[in-house]
Amino acid sequence: MSLVPQDFLPAIGPWVSTLDDVWPGAAVKPYFAHWEVGHLVAMLMLGGASILLNLRLIGFGLSDQTPSEVRRDVAPWLHAGVFGILFTGLLIGASNPDRLYTSEAFTAKMLGLAAALILTYGVSLPLARADGRAGSVTRLLGLMGLVIWALSLYVFASAKLVNPGLWHVLTAAALIVLFVSRGLTRIVYLAGLIGLILIQFVTTHIVIKPDDFTRLDPANKAFFWVFLVWILGAAAVQTLSAGRGEHGGAFTKAMAYAAILVWITTAAAGRWIAFA
Ligand code: HEM
């Protein structure tokens, strides 16, 4: 099954191809770069707010404030960032519609966006408001957000020439776990990461020649899975060893990780639209 919007939404094709000839697409087109900077500034705002909020739910950073206090302080920035990114995204999208219509990365990005909105507004903000306690609606929305995020990752992973963008998501996950883990877990985890990076470098630069793509591709994919298992394992150890703190247990922490990484998936897919 094709995952390009053009193939599963063929009926809107004629309308899409007119978007950059009419207002607002036509007006934005000559200033695409300026609007794209606005897109990225909005992303920094929402990303910063989401990271502060969700790290607090994981139990890291701003520990002099409760999660509900952090939520109160960062929510206006988060809302402004989300509004800004949707506003600028729709405008730059209207000025360059054919690229999006033929892009699997854009499909991954829109699924990621849907999951990000659910995990942020349906899960992470309510969890913070309740200082980490999860009700049944929050749990259901969490599950729904995870399923849609998994679909986004599936599309991202299946898109040829675009799927290396998943390394951004993996790198972000690796760094978050490095920040939040403590003590011996952090030392063992970091040593493992460095070891894996070295082994990957030697394998993909010396053992396999850098232009031997038929062998490099499967090797890099295998390393991706090994890194993923290592990072998820360390996140699980961190979450379980922290125990049920006063601001929520494993569910709250897992949702907080997901709520950061789902925005990173969306951003990475956005960046990789250009490489399709
Ligand atoms: C209504 C939703 C959105 C639309 C229609 C949209 C549209 C676009 C378009 C048209 C581009 C330029 C692609 C290209 O020509 O290479 C782009 C780039 C990008 N978008 Fe979005 N976007 C949306 C939401 C988001 C969100 C929520 C994020 C982040 C969480 C995001 C992050 C990015 C990034 C990082 C780039 C790459 C910028 C660059 O390469 O300079 N976008 N987006």
Instruction: Give the model confidence (pLDDT) of 174-200 as tens digits.
Output: 999 999 999 999 999 999 999 999 999
The CA-CA-CA angle for residues 260, 39, 28, to 5°, reads: 155
1 has pLDDT over 80: no
- pLDDT of 235: 95
Separation of alpha carbons 245 and 248, rounded Å? 6
Mean pLDDT score of the chain, rounded to an integer?
A: 96
Give pTM, 2 decimals: 0.96
Helix (H, G, I), strand (E, B) or coil at 9: coil
Are the CB atoms for 138 and 123 separated by under 8 Å?
yes
Is residue 266 within 6 Å of ligand 1 at its C-beta? yes
Is residue 100 within 6 Å of ligand 1 at its C-beta? yes
Mean pLDDT over residues 165-176, rounded?
98
- pLDDT of 236: 94
Mean pLDDT over residues 205-222, rounded?
95
Mean pLDDT over residues 83-88, rounded?
98
Are the CB atoms for 35 and 92 separated by under 8 Å?
yes
Is residue 274 within 6 Å of ligand 1 at its C-beta? yes
- Token pair, residue 43, equals 């992303």
Of the candidates 256, 257, 259, the residue with the CA atom closest to the CA atom of residue 118: 259
Give the count of beta carbons closer than 10 Å to the beta carbon of residue 57. Answer: 26
- For 25, 123, 178, the CA distances from 49, given in Å and listed in that order, are 30, 15, 20
Mean pLDDT over residues 227-233, rounded?
98
254 confidence band (pLDDT: 50, 70, 90): very high
Task: Give me the helix-helix angle, 213-242 and 183-202, nearest 10°.
Answer: 180
Mean pLDDT over residues 32-46, rounded?
98
pLDDT tens digit sequence for 90-143: 999 999 999 999 999 999 999 999 999 999 999 999 999 999 999 999 999 999
264 has pLDDT over 80: yes
Are the CB atoms for 152 and 269 separated by under 8 Å?
yes
Mean pLDDT over residues 143-169, rounded?
97
Signed CA dihedral, 33, 37, 40, 46: sign only: negative
Separation of alpha carbons 265 and 46, rounded Å? 14
62 confidence band (pLDDT: 50, 70, 90): confident
Q: Which residue puts its alpha carbon closest to atom 4 of ligand 1?
A: 89
Separation of alpha carbons 275 and 174, rounded Å? 24
Is residue 93 within 6 Å of ligand 1 at its C-beta? yes
- pLDDT of 195: 98
Give the count of beta carbons closer than 10 Å to the beta carbon of residue 63. Answer: 11
Q: State the distance from the centre of ligand 1 to the C-alpha of 164, rounded, in angstroms.
A: 17
- For 111, 140, 170, 249, the CA distances from 167, given in Å and listed in that order, are 18, 29, 5, 28
63 confidence band (pLDDT: 50, 70, 90): confident
- pLDDT of 246: 73
Are the CB atoms for 89 and 116 separated by under 8 Å?
no
> Percent of the chain at pLDDT above 70?
99
- pLDDT of 241: 83
Would you give the DSSP letter of residue 96? S
Of the candidates 96, 107, 114, 85, the residue with the CA atom closest to the CA atom of residue 6: 107
221 has pLDDT over 90: yes
